[in-house]
Amino acid sequence: LKKKPLILYNGTASTISRSIPMEKENSILNNLANIKWAEVKKIEKENSILDLCSLIKKADLVISVDTGITHIASAFNIPTIVHKSSENVYPKSSISIENSLYDDNLYKMAEDILEYIYTMSA
């Protein structure tokens, strides 16, 4: 039996202005819970940068505000959905999409990316 795809979510940045407010974060996680065939894990404080990198490397998709997490995922060639912000710094690559994490169709976008990944690897 194939394991469920892993989606990592992070809403915390180094500044409050770039972070997702806690009350909105629950809404985003509930939106992503619509993907019943994937596991959604919120990135918590990891013990070390190596632990964080190990976790990211296992992911099939990373959804995050623009932080080092998105840049690490990009370096591992893991698709990312990066929260649209005014700073426009996120990793620019063919596997990185800038979109609002408040979008009601976020789960559909994530599903489409995962389905594409699994179709291409089959």
Angstrom CA distances, 47 to 41, 50, 52, 55, 59, stand at 16, 8, 8, 11, 18
Domains defined along the chain, listed by start: 6-121 (3.40.50.2000)
Residue 2's pLDDT is 57
Residue 46's pLDDT is 86
Kindly state the tokens that stand for 112: 């489409």
Amino acid (1-letter code) at residue 122: A
Residue 3's pLDDT is 82
Q: What is the pLDDT of residues 68-95, one digit of tens each?
A: 999 999 999 999 999 987 666 666 777 8
Picking from 37, 41, 43, 35, the residue whose alpha carbon sits closest to that of residue 4 is: 37
Annotate 43-98 with DSSP letters as a single string: ----SSHHHHHHHHHH-SEEEESSSHHHHHHHHTT--EEEE--SS--S--STTEEE
- Within the chain, which residues score under 70 in pLDDT? 1-2, 86-91, 122
Task: Report the SS3 class of residue 121.
Answer: helix
Residue 86's pLDDT is 67
pTM listed for this prediction: 0.91
Residue 1's pLDDT is 39
Picking from 60, 30, 25, the residue whose alpha carbon sits closest to that of residue 44 is: 25
